[in-house]
Chains A and B, each alone.
Chain A
Amino acid sequence: AQKITQTQPGMFVQEKEAVTLDCTYDTSDQSYGLFWYKQPSSGEMIFLIYQGSYDEQNATEGRYSLNFQKARKSANLVISASQLGDSAMYFCAGGGSNYKLTFGKGTLLTVNP
């Protein structure tokens, strides 16, 4: 079983600045993956980045990077050089050997001009 905790209901960031969205997890699986998805107001879920539990390096995808600290059970998303289009809901999710995803409650990010 997985538990995903996102403690920031909302975050504000100035355009062009970096922002970190927090995510902690708890799991009994030895092998697991952590995901971040973006959900704009249209409702679609957009895959951003993935980190496997055995990956030694932090995942990066363009302006997105995942700060994975296994000992602290955290998988924070870092968005660099924020853009107005980054304003959306962001969900952290965890998946184990059965590939089922458990989602956190989400963080609403607002990018200010």
Chain B
Amino acid sequence: GAVVSQHPSWVICKSGTSVKIECRSLDFQATTMFWYRQFPKQSLMLMATSNEGSKATYEQGVEKDKFLINHASLTLSTLTVTSAHPEDSSFYICSAREGLHNEQFFGPGTRLTVL
């Protein structure tokens, strides 16, 4: 099956610093990658859609200057949380889909804690 990895799996940082999260499709070329955020005991909320070589499209209410997304290749997308604050602490999950396939395959997630 399709495998998506995320790195790091967890990160603790100080308020005001920036954190980069990587999402990689290991055995397929991801036409599109998606970034979600999940707060404790809540559902996944889509933050942005990322297509290789083009600018990400952000969902309403998501600050594009705070959550920088780069999709440099068909197997790698990165999410940078800039000037992180405690309210940004959450579980960040990426997913990827290939070509004409409808299924999205998810990475294992990154737990971010901002002190």
- Given contacts A35-B103, A50-B102, A91-B43, are A44 and B34 in contact (CB under 8 A)? no
B49 touches A100 (CB 8 A): yes
* Residues of A contacting B102 in the complex (Cβ-Cβ under 8 angstroms): 33, 50, 52, 95, 99
Interface residues on A, range: 20 to 34
A99→B106 contact, CB < 8 A: no
Sample of 4 more A-B contacts, CB < 8 Å, known A91-B44, A101-B46? A35-B104, A42-B108, A44-B108, A95-B104
Chain A residues whose C-beta falls within 8 Å of the C-beta of B93 in the assembled complex: 43, 45
- Give the residue among A43, A44, A102, A104 with the most B Cβ atoms within 10 A: A43
Contact with B along A45-89 (1 / 0, CB 8 A): 111001010000000000000000000000000000000000000
* B67 sits at the interface (CB 8 A): no
- Contact status B44-A99, CB under 8 Å: no
Instruction: With A50-B103, A99-B32 as known contacts, state yes or no: A43 contacts B111, CB within 8 Å.
Output: yes
